[in-house]
Amino acid sequence: MFYRILLIFFFMAGGYAIGLDRGLSYEGILYGAGVGVIALVLDLINTRMGIGALLGSLSGLLVGIIFANLLYYPVKGLFTDEQGIMVSLILNALFGYSGLFYGLRKGKDLTLSDILKVLKGSMTGEQPKIIDTSVIIDGRIADVCDSGFLEGTFIIPQFILQELQYIADSADALKRARGRRGLDVLHRIQKMSNVTVKIVDEDFPHIKEVDAKLVALAKMHGGKIVTNDFNLNKVAQLHGVSVLNLNELANALKPVVLPGESMNIFIVKEGKEFNQGVGYLDDGTMVVVDNARRLINHRVDVVVTSVLQTTAGRMIFARLKEEAEREELRVVRR
C-alpha cells in the first residue's frame, strides 16, 4: 500500500514540476494526481482480474479520452486558458473514467487465449461460424472439428440454445435423447483448443422464424452458417450468406463410383419399381438393383450402370453381375 501512495505523490510532483514552467502549478498537481490514480487502477486491474480486464480498461480509457477531446476542441475558444484547462480536465476525467470501467466490464471474462484467437482471426480474415440446431443434434460437427477441418470462432445464439433445451425436455423419448446428445456435443466442442465457442444474446423480436434469425445474425457478424438443413441452406444463399453444409461435405467425401464397376452388396428390401432390390454401401449410399427382388436378404455381386447425384445424396443403379455377363456373352456371339 505504501508504494502506491508514494506513486501518487511521484505523479503529483511530476505534474507540479511540469505545470510550474507554464505557470500552472496547481493544475499540474491535479493532472499528476489523476494520472497516478489511473495508474493505480490499472495496476489493481492487472493483479486482480487478469490481462483481459487490463486490455479492456486501457481500450475503454483511450476511447473515452479521445471522445472527451473531440468534444472539447470545438468549444475551446469559449474559455480562458485557466477555464479551458479545468473543462478539459473534467471532460477527460469523466469520459476516461466511464470508458475505463466500461472496458473493464466487457473485458473481464477474456483470457489470453481468447485474445490471441481474436488477433489471429483478424489477421487471417477468419469468418465466425453460426451454428444451427440441426448440426448440433447431428453430432458429426464434433468429429469434423476434432480432425481440424473446422476451427475458429463458433457463435451460438441464445434462441438456438433455447430450442435445443426444448428438444432435450421433450416428452418424446427419441427427441429427448437427440436434444441431450446435442448438449453433450456442445460441451465436447467447448473443450477443444482449436475452437472458441461464443454464446450471444442477440435476438430479433420482429423475426419469428429461427432460420431467418440465423441469416440475420450471420449478416450482423459477417459469418457463415453451419447446418444440415436443406431449406436453411437455400434461404441463406438467397440472402448472400455463405453456408457450410455437413451433408454436402459427407457426399463430397464419398468414394467415386463409375459405371461398369463391380461391387458386392446385401439386398435388404424391394425397390419402388417392379422387381427391384435395394441395398446400401458402408457409407449409406443407396444401391438400386434391377431384378433383385427375389434376392432379398442375400449378398450378391452387381455391376454399376449409372450414378445419380441429388440434393439428398447419391444413388447408384446397378444390375446383377450374372445378368451383365450373360448380356456380354450374347453380344460376343452375335
Among 76-80, 117-121, 294-298, name the one with the lowest average pLDDT: 117-121
CA distance 58 to 100: 6
CATH number of the domain located at residue range(s) 262-333 in this protein: 2.40.50
Give which of 151, 155, 152, 153 is closest to 130, Cα–Cα.
Answer: 155
Q: Residue 140's CB: how many other CB atoms inside 10 A?
A: 14
Output the pLDDT for position 202: 83
Q: In this predicted model, what pLDDT tens digit does every residue of 231-251 receive, in sequence order? A: 888 889 888 888 998 888 887
> Percent of the chain at pLDDT above 70?
76
DSSP 8-state secondary structure symbol assigned to residue 8: H
Angle at 214 between CA 209 and CA 220, to 5 degrees: 130
Mean pLDDT of all residues in the chain? 80
Say which range, 92-106, 195-209, 253-267, has the weakest mean pLDDT: 92-106
End-to-end distance of the chain based on CA atoms, in angstroms? 106
pLDDT at 297: 92
Q: How confident is the model at residue 103 (pLDDT cuts 50, 70, 90)?
A: confident
Cell numbers at 213, concatenated: 434469425
Confidence bin at 26 (pLDDT 50/70/90): low
The tens digit of pLDDT for each residue in 297-325 reads 999 999 999 988 776 678 899 999 888 88
5/159: higher pLDDT: 159
Q: Give the count of alpha carbons within 13 A of 316, CB side only.
A: 27
- How much is the pLDDT for 180? 92
Asked if the model's pLDDT at residue 80 lies above 70, the reply is: yes
Task: Determine the Cα–Cα distance for residues 290 and 268; give it in Å rounded to an integer.
Answer: 14
Tell me which amino acid residue 111 is: T
- Check pLDDT > 70 for residue 6: no
* Phi-psi domain of 50 (left: phi exceeds 0; alpha: psi -120 through 50; beta: other): left
Kindly list the domain boundaries of the chain, sorted by start residue: 2-110, 125-252, 262-333
How far apart (Å, rounded) are the C-alpha atoms in residues 201 and 212?
16
Mean pLDDT, residues 76-105: 77
Q: Is 7 helix (H, G, I), strand (E, B) or coil?
A: helix
pLDDT grade for 92, boundaries at 50, 70 and 90? confident
Other C-beta atoms within 10 Å of 152: how many?
Answer: 18
Does the domain spanning 125-252 belong to CATH 3.40.50.1010? yes
pLDDT of residue 277: 94
